[in-house]
């Protein structure tokens, strides 16, 4: 049993051009390539802009500094209190 919505959907799908799927696939591939290019080049472009303006290197864009900035924790030593102790 087909209801009216399924009939309407089948009629609309029959009206679509057959090359539509190929065009959509090409657009998705182009956007995927563009996102990869952005992921590679935008951080470096931001770093260049900051250096041109006269700022220092952005620490958030350096992968090596992120791993080196982590503190070494040792389970044998208690952590230092971040707040002063109440009197």
Residue-wise pLDDT for 6-54, tens only, equals 888 888 888 878 788 889 889 999 999 999 988 888 888 888 888 788 7
Higher pLDDT, 63 or 51: 51
| DSSP collapsed to 3 states, the chain | CCCHHHHHHHHHHHHCCCCHHHHHHHHHHHHHHHHHHHHHHHHHHHHHHHHHHCCCCCHHHCHHHHHHHCCCCCCCCCCCCCCCCCC
According to the model, what pLDDT value does residue 61 have? 60
pLDDT of 78 higher than 90: no
According to the model, what pLDDT value does residue 40 have? 85
According to the model, what pLDDT value does residue 62 have? 63
């Amino acid at each position: 049993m087909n209801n009216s919505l399924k009939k309407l959907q089948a009629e609309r799908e029959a009206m679509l051009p057959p090359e539509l799927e190929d065009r959509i696939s090409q657009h998705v591939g182009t956007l995927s390539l563009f996102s990869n290019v952005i992921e590679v080049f935008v951080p470096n472009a931001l770093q260049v802009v900051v250096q041109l303006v006269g700022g220092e290197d952005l620490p958030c864009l350096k992968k090596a500094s992120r791993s080196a900035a982590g503190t070494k924790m040792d389970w044998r030593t208690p952590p230092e209190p971040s707040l002063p102790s109440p009197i």
